[in-house]
Amino acid sequence: MNKEILQSECEFKAVRSSGPGGQHVNKTSTKVMLHWDLEASAVFTEEQKERLGQRLASKLTTENQLVLSYDQSRSQHKNKEEVFKNLVQLLEKALVIPKKRKKTRPTLASKKRRLESKKQNAQKKANRKPPDLSPSFKNIS
């Protein structure tokens, strides 16, 4: 992924940040909004665009634009760097192809260990019960 081309495709807009901050927040635009168009991007192949479209479907607008914002810092420049860093991380994470899971079966030894531990637990719980002191009438004939 070429970050220089990706950054040139991004449209940055500075807007007023919300929340408390006194006089500074009321007169400066430090919050940075990033708009990036998935379809118009030249950085990714068609297959990668399709994958990004599927993985980021909940974050994309109806025009297939990704809109991110960042306003943690009081510096517009720092916020711009951070929002771009967030975009790169988001795209890299969405492009990762998960490994296919191989089906495995438990071994005979693991099955035996499991059954043995179940027997031990059953015996442990049976030993916790009070002994049955009622007379047994079954043996009287």
pLDDT in tens, the chain (141 residues): 889 999 999 999 999 887 676 777 677 888 999 999 999 999 999 999 999 999 999 999 999 899 999 988 888 999 999 999 999 999 999 999 989 999 999 999 999 999 999 999 999 999 998 887 776 666 555
pTM: 0.69
Residue with tokens 């005979």: 108
Residue-range domain boundaries for the chain: 3-95
**Per-residue buried b or exposed e for 70-109, using 16+ beta carbons within 10 Å of the residue's own CB:** bbebeebeebbebbbeebeebbeeeeeeeeeeeeeeeeee
**CATH architecture designation of domain 3-95:** 2-Layer Sandwich (3.30)
Q: What angle do CA 51, 46, 2 make, to 5 degrees?
A: 90
